[in-house]
Structure 1
């Protein structure tokens, strides 16, 4: 029992997974169709865009910053993708150009936060407005609809019965996880977010890490834009609007701390999936659409607070067990010392 509790504390994602399964079963008890394999597949497909963006946002959150410009970056990236495809550009050129858009905007955000010392919320909020305006100027407020069929068909390609966009999300999570946990530079993100001053004293490239974090966030939003066009087949002038709040909520739901230094991209991915599950479940519970935002927000708060309390309880139990173990060892030593 003690070892199980310790493992649950160390593996933060496990509690998120348990909560998600419990929620699935709860909704399934109300409407059994929610637990059907087809429904689960649809929810997984619907969570990929949010998952990709949450992975990028995790890098920024780990450094104790925040990026609220990701929704507008996704919108502009989708617009660039749509117009280039419609003009007959090569697919490789399209992908490279879109990723460059995200990287450049992320770089500007990073420079503003790291070197100009602009608070992250102010810098990225300003960039949200700038990029949204650029998107409307770029598209002239028009929808982009004439996307080539070959690009839309990519979303329907299946590998081992798993759609191609899902594979993109899985691969990105895996790469990000290995980078953060298995490389020396990847661990700098945790160090910077946990104690920025301490990281500077140790000689870590704090500013470079922060700039890279924002660039990775921008690139992930650009990739989400590519997937959006692939899945939806058109680009509206409101694409990506409001996504930034969902992305941050998904990452926090997955255990990535707003204070920095704590969390993982796997948790962020699970959080994105869980967030999509919550929104999708309201349809199966036959709740009127005008209640969706209020109820999904309430459930999100309830789950995050409940999970936080659960984690504190487990840590308290673990510390108490350690204290009891130490006291028992002291008593044994004292009893052996008595002749």
Structure 2
């Protein structure tokens, strides 16, 4: 019974039920959707979204956010793609891409965690700088003619119709989830986001945790950029634009609180599947995929408002519980005083 109650109160479970309901509704409207290949396509297309959402989740856990991940993704995709196009070894290109992502994460961590700048403003500025660097690096041209083996690997399947990229990503997400929930250091992220000052007072490495969160976010965006280049086969100067909104929407849809300290990476991964599937599902419902951004915006607004209401209700409930406890203590003290007076 306790397990059932725990599942019913799990924030990430809501997103899973929503995903299942979404598939069922689309299947009722268009039965041809309910085939293994179509359902697998929804998961396969979510690989990039899953990676950026998990990276974003780390910063949200600590009570911050990173809106530079879209440009981070695009820049890494352009650099790795151009290196591979010019005949550089794959491992060297991947290492350079990961290094770029880590450096961007460190820059964001320096501005937000060390200097105390507002996360939204600072990372938005970094986002603009990275997009400008990307235009300069590519001269405003597309990065094309990537190696065929690099592009073809994105379609290699591992389990049924699920690609190797998605299977490896999910295994990584599950591993990260266990590290965050089963290890002491893993729980630091949510502890810092839940109460920054309290975490510092009890001796938790608050600054290091925030820095690590941004570095992980930067590296995850870099990995997403490499896979993006492999799946799409080319990179434009606009690649990655808007992915920050998708990542935030996926996180909050998966139960991650924008106020920090609440949520799981598994929920973020489920939310990423929902966000990635919207344009694909619209086609089966007879609508144009042009509605994708509008629907994403509506979902983000609804979920953020709902999250704010939940947080407010929780605060009121906790405040009321503390008040009732204090009243009970006062009543007990008065009763004790009355008994003492009667005894005299």
- The TM tier, using the shorter chain, reads 0.7 to 0.9
The 5 Å alignment of 1:84-123 reads 84-123=83-122
Deviations 1:51-107 (A, max 9, x none): 011011100000000100000000000011111101211111111110000000000
The 5 Å alignment of 1:12-51 reads 12-51=11-50
**Distance verdict in 2 for CA 1:308–1:282, change over 3 Å:** farther
Deviates more, 1:63-72 or 1:146-155: 146-155
Q: 1:302 offset after TM fit, Å?
A: 4.6
The number of equivalent residue pairs is: 317
Partner of 2:198: 198
Deviates more, 1:60-69 or 1:38-47: 38-47
Say which SS state the counterpart of residue 46 (structure 2) adopts. Answer: helix
Partner of 2:212: 212
Unaligned runs of 5+ in 2: 318-344
Partner of 1:297: 297
State how far apart, in whole Å, the 2-side matches of 1:57 and 1:307 are. 17
State how far apart, in whole Å, the 2-side matches of 1:244 and 1:228 are. 15
Say which SS state the counterpart of residue 154 (structure 1) adopts. Answer: helix
Say which SS state the counterpart of residue 155 (structure 2) adopts. Answer: coil
The 5 Å alignment of 1:116-155 reads 116-155=115-154
Partner of 2:228: 228
Q: 1:297 offset after TM fit, Å?
A: 3.1
Say which SS state the counterpart of residue 155 (structure 1) adopts. Answer: helix
Q: 1:251 offset after TM fit, Å?
A: 0.7
Are 1:268 and 2:302 matched, yes or no?
Answer: no
Q: Give the alignment's TM-score, normalised by structure 2.
A: 0.85
Say which SS state the counterpart of residue 56 (structure 1) adopts. Answer: helix
Partner of 1:329: none
State how far apart, in whole Å, the 2-side matches of 1:17 and 1:308 are. 21
State how far apart, in whole Å, the 1-side matches of 2:116 and 2:310 are. 37
Unaligned runs of 5+ in 1: 317-339
Q: 1:150 offset after TM fit, Å?
A: 1.4
Are 1:187 and 2:217 matched, yes or no?
Answer: no
Say which SS state the counterpart of residue 150 (structure 2) adopts. Answer: helix
State how far apart, in whole Å, the 2-side matches of 1:214 and 1:202 are. 22
State how far apart, in whole Å, the 1-side matches of 2:88 and 2:280 are. 36
Indicate if the aligned counterparts of 1:278 and 1:299 stay in contact, CA closer than 8 A: no
Are 1:55 and 2:54 matched, yes or no?
Answer: yes
**Distance verdict in 2 for CA 1:2–1:101, change over 3 Å:** closer
State how far apart, in whole Å, the 1-side matches of 2:117 and 2:65 are. 12
Deviation beyond 3 Å, 4+ runs, structure 1: 288-292, 299-313
Indicate if the aligned counterparts of 1:66 and 1:121 stay in contact, CA closer than 8 A: yes
**Distance verdict in 2 for CA 1:156–1:57, change over 3 Å:** same
Structure with max Cα Rg: 2
**Alignment RMSD (CA, Å):** 2.5
State how far apart, in whole Å, the 2-side matches of 1:270 and 1:136 are. 33
**Distance verdict in 2 for CA 1:84–1:205, change over 3 Å:** same
Indicate if the aligned counterparts of 2:249 and 2:296 stay in contact, CA closer than 8 A: no
Indicate if the aligned counterparts of 1:15 and 1:307 stay in contact, CA closer than 8 A: no
Indicate if the aligned counterparts of 1:52 and 1:223 stay in contact, CA closer than 8 A: yes
Q: 1:36 offset after TM fit, Å?
A: 1.8
Say which SS state the counterpart of residue 219 (structure 2) adopts. Answer: helix
Partner of 1:256: 256
State how far apart, in whole Å, the 2-side matches of 1:285 and 1:84 are. 40
State how far apart, in whole Å, the 2-side matches of 1:12 and 1:261 are. 13
